Amino acid sequence: MKLNTNKRYNTIAFYAVIVIAVSLLMIIAVFKFGNILDIVHKFFSVLSPVIWGLVIAFLLNPIMVKTEKLMRRYVFKKNTHPMLLRAFALVICAVVFLLFCAGTFAVVIPEIFNSLNDIFSNISKLFSQLQNWISKLFKNNQQLYDYAMKQLSDFAKDTDTLITRVQPIVTNILSGAWSFLNFLTDFLVGFIISMYVLAAKEKMLAQSKKFLFAVFRKNACKTIFSIGNQCNTVFSNFVVGRLIECFIVGLMTFIGMSILKMPYAVMISVLVAITDIIPFFGPFLGAIPSALLLLMVDGKYVLPFAIMMLIIQQVDGNLISPKILGESTGLPPFWVLVSLFVGGGLFGVVGMILCVPTFAILYDLVRTGVESRLKKRNFPTQTQEYYAPAEKYYSPPPYTKPLSADELQNVPIPPAETVNQATKK
């Protein structure tokens, strides 16, 4: 017996099944959100070496491209040995990256550990200096003085107890923790993976294009390639430019603190450089704890440090950032704040770093789609045009009163001969 199928009903049933499946997945995601996050975290922890490899390859790719251009101009002028050229460029990238990591671990890490050890060793002295500063500040207000001293005394007791309990644990963790070993292992494996990715990036891109053309239509492939190019441009400009900018800001902070002979110059400079990678809030996140630390050492360092950081941030915002980053994201300040809150709330510090370029790409895609639909409806695409009241764009045409019978009789009607002559002309 042959079954007669109806294509229309089959299509409706197909879409109904998709809607029901998506609804079930959304319900499961709402009620099992914690479990889903655990699964996602486990998934990304397993792929941590691959992720590190892609990140390192993404950061080293501009260096490799510049190196290949220079070597093609001065060494391999005829471009007859592309594999040898790539090998030399990879070796140079690997040496630069390893020297940078080794220099960081050899110079910065010991200084940070020494600073932390000095802070823990002199914590009682720091509290006594802070008490003297509070007594000078609130000497004319006894109530505020008593309240501040009580809070400081309670915190000092808790801190002393906490330090005595935690200091051996911190020493053991710093000496050899599994988490650090796992991180170091993932990082080294990721570095090896990055070399493979950089060596065969053209082949991997070609395979990706081959897969997309086999699965999607030409228009969809064109859209995917456009979005991919845009993502590469935004992320490369933002991430690489931001890292260069943070290095310059940290270096200026170290030079300024060294000239002013402030304590903990290396640790504070590293803290300022790391937090500066976070847009908008980064300078405050690095400057405020550093100022509090200097306040505990000696209050005379706070004002020069605040003035120095203000000058550095002005130089960074008006000179360094426009030169390095320019309009790399094109994201309005309001959406920068929204992206920081969303990314930081969901994914922590990594989310705060990557949310701005991600939101910038989504913002540009939405803007492009909106402008395309407006053009189809013959509406203006410039935002300035919409400052006018909305009735301007959808108000009905002005009301016209119909002619009466007497007025219709008085309308002159030309004879047919006149109309024919005008048509012939």
Domains contained in the chain, number:
2
Tell me the residue range of the domain where 69 lies.
49-199
Please provide residue 50's backbone torsions phi and psi, each rounded to the nearest 5 degrees.
-65, -40
Regarding whether 13 and 90 lie in a shared domain, the answer is no
pTM above 0.85, yes or no: no
Structure confidence at residue 303 as a pLDDT band (50, 70, 90): confident
pLDDT tens for each residue of 382-395: 877 777 776 666 66
Residue 36 CB neighbours (<10 A): 13
Amino acid in position 272: V
Q: Which two tokens stand for residue 50?
A: 């691959």
Regarding whether 165 and 29 lie in a shared domain, the answer is no
Regarding whether 176 and 74 lie in a shared domain, the answer is yes
Structure confidence at residue 116 as a pLDDT band (50, 70, 90): low
pLDDT tens for each residue of 2-60: 555 556 667 777 778 888 888 888 887 777 767 777 777 787 778 888 888 888 888 88
What letter would DSSP give residue 239?
Answer: I
pLDDT tens for each residue of 200-220: 888 888 998 899 889 888 888
Structure confidence at residue 291 as a pLDDT band (50, 70, 90): confident
Per-residue pLDDT at 379: 81
Regarding whether 147 and 31 lie in a shared domain, the answer is no
Q: Which two tokens stand for residue 166?
A: 């935690």
Residue whose structure tokens are 């002295």: 125
Per-residue pLDDT at 250: 86
User: Among the three residues 199, 234, 267, which one is the final residue of a domain in this structure?
Assistant: 199
Residue of higher predicted confidence among 224 and 168:
224
Regarding whether 188 and 76 lie in a shared domain, the answer is yes
Regarding whether 123 and 41 lie in a shared domain, the answer is no
Residue whose structure tokens are 């460029």: 89
Per-residue pLDDT at 322: 67
Per-residue pLDDT at 410: 78
The arithmetic mean of pLDDT across residues 167-184, rounded, is 60
Q: Which two tokens stand for residue 284?
A: 């405050």
Structure confidence at residue 285 as a pLDDT band (50, 70, 90): confident
User: Among the three residues 148, 167, 199, which one is the final residue of a domain in this structure?
Assistant: 199
Per-residue pLDDT at 141: 67
Q: Exposed e or buried b for every residue in 334-352, given b needs 16+ CB within 10 A?
A: eebeebbeebbeeeeeebb
Q: For residue 257, tell me if it sits in a domain.
A: no
Per-residue pLDDT at 378: 80
Closest CA to 267 of 163, 117, 103: 117
Residue 175 CB neighbours (<10 A): 8
Regarding whether 191 and 54 lie in a shared domain, the answer is yes
Q: For residue 322, tell me if it sits in a domain.
A: no
Regarding whether 130 and 42 lie in a shared domain, the answer is no
Q: Exposed e or buried b for every residue in 115-152, given b needs 16+ CB within 10 A?
A: beeebeeeeeebbebbeebbeeebeeeeeeeeebeeee
Regarding whether 88 and 17 lie in a shared domain, the answer is no
Which of 185-189, 248-252, 411-415 is predicted least confidently? 411-415
pLDDT tens for each residue of 337-368: 777 788 777 776 667 777 778 888 888 888 88
> Could you write out the DSSP letters of every residue in 342-362?
HHHHHHHHHHHHHHHHHHHHH
Regarding whether 41 and 53 lie in a shared domain, the answer is no
Per-residue pLDDT at 185: 84
Amino acid in position 284: F
Decide if 339 contacts 356 (C-beta within 8 A): yes
The arithmetic mean of pLDDT across residues 93-97, rounded, is 86
Give yes or no for residue 169 having a pLDDT over 60: no
User: Among the three residues 199, 223, 238, which one is the final residue of a domain in this structure?
Assistant: 199
User: Chain centroid to CA 249: how far?
Assistant: 18
Residue whose structure tokens are 């051996």: 168
Give Cβ neighbours of residue 324 (< 8 Å, ≥ 6 apart): 241, 244, 245
Q: For residue 385, tell me if it sits in a domain.
A: no
Per-residue pLDDT at 260: 87
Per-residue pLDDT at 365: 82
Rounded to whole angstroms, the Cα distance separating 246 from 250 reads 6
Regarding whether 131 and 16 lie in a shared domain, the answer is no
Give Cβ neighbours of residue 270 (< 8 Å, ≥ 6 apart): 108, 112, 250
> Could you write out the DSSP letters of every residue in 277-320?
TSTTTHHHHHHHHHHHHHHHH-GGGHHHHHHHHHHHHHHIIIII
Question: In this prediction, what percent of the chain has a pLDDT beyond 70?
Answer: 72
Q: For residue 84, tell me if it sits in a domain.
A: yes
Rounded to whole angstroms, the Cα distance separating 212 from 398 reads 53
Q: For residue 176, tell me if it sits in a domain.
A: yes
Mean pLDDT of the chain: 76
Q: For residue 53, tell me if it sits in a domain.
A: yes
Rounded to whole angstroms, the Cα distance separating 104 from 46 reads 27
> Could you write out the DSSP letters of every residue in 319-338?
IIHHHHTSSSS---HHHHHH
Determine which helix (DSSP H) or strand (DSSP E) holds 156, and give its type and residue range.
Answer: helix 142-175
Give yes or no for residue 164 having a pLDDT over 60: no
Residue 29 CB neighbours (<10 A): 11
Structure confidence at residue 1 as a pLDDT band (50, 70, 90): very low
Per-residue pLDDT at 330: 65
Amino acid in position 413: I
The arithmetic mean of pLDDT across residues 56-77, rounded, is 82
- Rounded to the nearest 10°, the torsion over CA 187, 191, 197, 200 is -160
Per-residue pLDDT at 404: 76
Regarding whether 154 and 57 lie in a shared domain, the answer is yes
pLDDT tens for each residue of 225-271: 888 888 887 777 777 777 788 888 888 888 988 898 888 788 788 88
